[in-house]
Homo-oligomer: A and B are copies of this chain.
Amino acid sequence: MKKRTNPIPQILRQTGSNLAKTWPTQIMGLFTVMLAVLIFSFFLLVHLNMLATGARLGEELRLTVYLEREIEPPLMARLEQQIRQFGDIAEVRYTSRQEAFARFADQLGEERDILDNLGPEFLPPSIEVTPKPSLRSPDDLERLAAHLLTLPDTTRVQYGREWLRRFSAFNRVLQAVVLISGVLLILNMIFTISHSTRLAMAARREEIEILRLLGASRSYISIPFVAEGLLQGGLGSGLGMAALWLFYQRIGNPVNDPGLLGLFTPSFLPLPVTAGIIVGGTLLCVVSSLLVVNKALRI
């Protein structure tokens, strides 16, 4: 009976010596993975923030029901109930003549002095109806407006038809851009990582074949490569996200400038997305290594 040792340390040694021997390629690979992850997450960050801005714009959407006369609270409660029957209504708010005048003055901003010789009576009282996000298509709003017109004392229902069309066109463009760029960038990441893995492997195909001829087990051959993919993917993705964070700090600040008045409050990728990208990048590297090593093993 021949003496044999525990295989684990031997395999670990093999992994370590592989890493030590090929570190220039490894560093290049690391940098490649980092760049791929950085590009992907950079555009994800930009696009998520654009989508968030789009959503925030959407929140400004509301319908105004102009009324013939001021309404007392009990009647208002009945009206609100009737409105909410339509479904998917987020908020219903009554605005008296007085409030309407104050708000209009606000909207005029520096031009408010043109109202100086007018009294609050010239604006009618109104009810503002804010639909939920699920109810934002032009068609839905048309139906809601028709429903609101059936309420008693309603003179007119008004909502930013023009604005809504702008907004939904903008959203459609944004979604198309996000979709296409997502696909392109994922493809890019897959291509880049698989290229880098194949490049690293090209130099070692010979080694794999010889190990097989000597009767090395599949795990003896694969584990070093997979460990390498794990290390490279994990480190590369992590560094990519770190670089993104640095960029974010630099761009985030000018944006947080009160200049944009809360319309565009940037936020970093949420933690689960960050984690997802790192895990995804790592997995991509590992899977790519496994595929390449398996291909080499099959020969």
Interface residues of A (CB under 8 A from B): 32, 35-36, 38-39, 42-43, 46, 109-111, 114, 117-118, 122-123, 158, 162, 165-166, 168-170, 172-173, 176-177, 180-181, 184-185, 187-188, 191-192, 195-196, 198-199, 202-203, 247, 250-251, 254-255, 257-261, 263-264
Contacts and interface: CB of A to CB of B under 8 A. Distances in A.
A71 B221 CA distance: 90
Given A199-B202, A260-B166, A176 B250 contact: yes
B176 A35 contact: no
Contacts of A260: 166, 169-170
Given A111-B158, A192-B191, A259 B39 contact: no
Contacts of A162: 109, 261
Given A166-B260, A172-B255, A177-B251, 15 more contacts: A42-B181, A43-B43, A43-B181, A46-B177, A114-B122, A117-B122, A166-B259, A166-B263, A170-B259, A170-B264, A180-B251, A188-B188, A188-B192, A195-B199, A202-B202
Contacts of A109: 162
Contacts of A36: 188
A166 B261 contact: yes
Interface of A is mostly: helix
Given A172-B254, A181-B43, A195 B32 contact: yes
B117 A247 contact: no
Contacts of A188: 35-36, 39, 188, 192
Contacts of A43: 43, 181
27 contacts: A35-B188, A36-B188, A38-B184, A42-B180, A42-B181, A42-B184, A43-B43, A46-B177, A109-B162, A111-B158, A118-B118, A162-B261, A165-B258, A166-B259, A168-B259, A169-B254, A169-B255, A169-B259, A170-B264, A172-B257, A173-B251, A173-B255, A176-B250, A176-B251, A195-B195, A199-B199, A199-B202
